[in-house]
């Protein structure tokens, strides 16, 4: 772990980035492809929302009736099928923790039923999933983990009160959504990242054309060339915001950090291409004794690849997140 970035005693092992991945974009892109394609899920459960929609949750192997449970939130246009989620499930299983992955609306492989999707500040669905887990496992401590957009959602939820959550981890969080959106759209790699996310978002909008047509200007949506364009034309109006700026301002997790009263570990790289260094909430972490900041100089975005051999990579963030949650939930 680099001493160049302010950090607070987080109780995690030092991060020593793989020497063969020296650049943040290499950590980000190859980190995605190097993670093994595990299949840890045992069963899928569908729960219904008050507005007549559904959420699909995937449950991993249960280590026993007295062991903790962790709800995992994926990133933008991800799902519980993403390798980083599944690696965390494996690491939690090694700590004898039951992992449960929440698929945000439209992300489980089945289109959702209402004219809406999900977004960086949608905490109502997380609260619903957490309440379902507390009812199903009433005697077991419940934790929360989130990656990227899911990390932003997790921190906002914690800042809003997060009933029943005993400990949490957030990895590669876009704490400032405005700054993060600008960063992800900068330069050649930014255009590649933007194209990747937009292709998926626009495909979902097209799939739900009939449902969305009465509430959106679909020509404007389909003409989006940046994530901000999409948020202005689709995310904001669908979810009750006056525009992208209002959405980014109200939903950025940085403004909720001071309110968190749950032990929370933040695993974050200063070279994350999805967030400028100056947007790291260093002072907010210092002020709040419930936050444990592990800010590294390198690691990219949900990269954090370690190991000396490219054919035997290891993944620091998932390992340390699982270790932290395993300890914190039993101590809570």
pLDDT given for residue 18 in this prediction: 97
Q: Each residue's pLDDT tens digit in the chain (332 positions)?
A: 434 344 555 689 999 999 999 999 999 999 999 999 999 999 999 999 999 999 999 999 999 999 999 999 999 999 999 999 999 999 999 999 999 999 999 999 999 999 999 999 999 999 999 999 999 999 999 999 999 999 999 999 999 999 999 999 999 999 999 999 999 988 999 999 999 999 999 999 999 999 999 999 999 999 999 999 999 999 999 999 999 999 999 999 999 999 999 999 999 999 999 999 999 999 999 999 999 999 999 999 999 999 999 999 999 999 999 999 999 999 87
24-175+254-331 under CATH 3.40.50.1820, yes or no: yes
pLDDT given for residue 10 in this prediction: 63
pLDDT given for residue 3 in this prediction: 41
What amino acid positions are annotated as catalytic residues?
148, 272, 301
For residue 152 the two structure tokens come to 């932003």
User: HSE on the CB side for 30, CA within 13 Å?
Assistant: 18
pTM: 0.96
Domain extents in the chain: 24-175+254-331, 177-251
Cβ distance 298 to 269 under 8 Å? yes
* Structure-token match 């800010």, residue found: 295
What is the C-alpha separation between 229 and 181, in angstroms, rounded? 11
For residue 180 the two structure tokens come to 């993060």
């Amino acid at each position: 772990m680099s001493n160049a970035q302010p950090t607070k005693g987080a109780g995690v092992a030092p991060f020593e980035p793989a020497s063969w991945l020296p650049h943040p974009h290499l950590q980000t892109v190859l980190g995605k492809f190097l993670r093994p394609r595990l299949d840890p899920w045992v069963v899928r459960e569908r729960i219904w929302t008050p507005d007549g929609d559904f959420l699909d949750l995937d449950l991993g192997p249960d280590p026993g009736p007295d062991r903790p449970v962790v709800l995992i939130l994926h990133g933008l246009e991800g799902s519980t099928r993403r390798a980083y989620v599944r690696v965390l499930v494996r690491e939690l299983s090694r700590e004898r923790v039951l992992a449960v992955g929440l698929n945000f609306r439209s992300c489980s492989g089945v289109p959702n039923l209402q004219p809406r999707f999900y977004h960086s500040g949608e905490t109502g669905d997380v609260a619903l999933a957490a309440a379902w887990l507390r009812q199903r496992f009433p005697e077991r401590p419940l934790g929360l983990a989130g990656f990227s957009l899911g990390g932003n959602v997790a921190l906002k939820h914690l800042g809003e009160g997060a009933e029943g959550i005993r400990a949490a981890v957030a990895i590669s969080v876009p704490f400032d959504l405005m700054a993060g959106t600008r960063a992800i759209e900068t330069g050649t790699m930014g255009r590649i990242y933007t194209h990747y996310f937009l292709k998926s978002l626009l495909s979902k909008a097209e799939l739900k054309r009939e449902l969305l047509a009465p509430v959106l200007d679909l020509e404007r949506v389909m003409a989006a060339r940046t994530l901000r364009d999409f948020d202005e034309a689709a995310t904001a109006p669908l979810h009750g915001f006056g525009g992208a700026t209002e959405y980014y301002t109200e939903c950025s997790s940085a403004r909720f950090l001071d309110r968190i009263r749950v032990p929370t570990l933040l695993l974050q790289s200063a070279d994350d291409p999805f967030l400028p260094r100056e947007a790291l909430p260093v002072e907010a972490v210092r002020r709040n004794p419930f936050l444990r900041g592990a800010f590294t100089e390198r690691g990219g975005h949900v990269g954090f690849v370690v190991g000396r051999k490219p054919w035997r990579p290891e993944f620091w963030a998932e390992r340390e997140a699982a270790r932290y949650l395993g300890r914190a939930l039993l101590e809570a």
